[in-house]
């Protein structure tokens, strides 16, 4: 095992030990809220997708 590998293993171990489960739960809740909100917005936007895109006006300088 190289010194680099040993160092990486130690860092990984420290990371897994210091997991804040409460923050994790809060993050999960926020993420779920965000996902549901995005789905809601998608449902609301569907009728507008059928419109043809507006033609861009040419700009003559």
Burial string for 2-32 (b: 16+ CB within 10 Å, else e) reads eeeeeeeeeeeeeeeeeeeeeeeeeeeeeee
- 44-60, pLDDT tens digit by residue? 666 655 666 666 777 77
**Per-residue pLDDT tens digits for 3-47:** 666 666 666 655 555 667 788 888 889 999 998 888 888 776 666
pTM check: above 0.85: no
**Cα-based distances in Å from 27 to 6, 23, 32, 38, 52:** 31, 6, 9, 16, 39
* Rounded Cα–Cα distance for residues 14 and 17 (Å): 5
Residue 51: DSSP 8-state: S
């Amino acid at each position: 095992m190289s010194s680099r590998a040993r160092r990486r293993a130690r860092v990984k171990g420290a990371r897994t030990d210091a997991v804040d489960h409460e923050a994790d739960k809060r993050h999960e809740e926020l993420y779920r809220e965000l996902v549901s909100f995005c789905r809601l917005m998608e449902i609301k936007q569907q009728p507008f997708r059928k419109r043809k895109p507006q033609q861009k006006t040419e700009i003559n300088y």
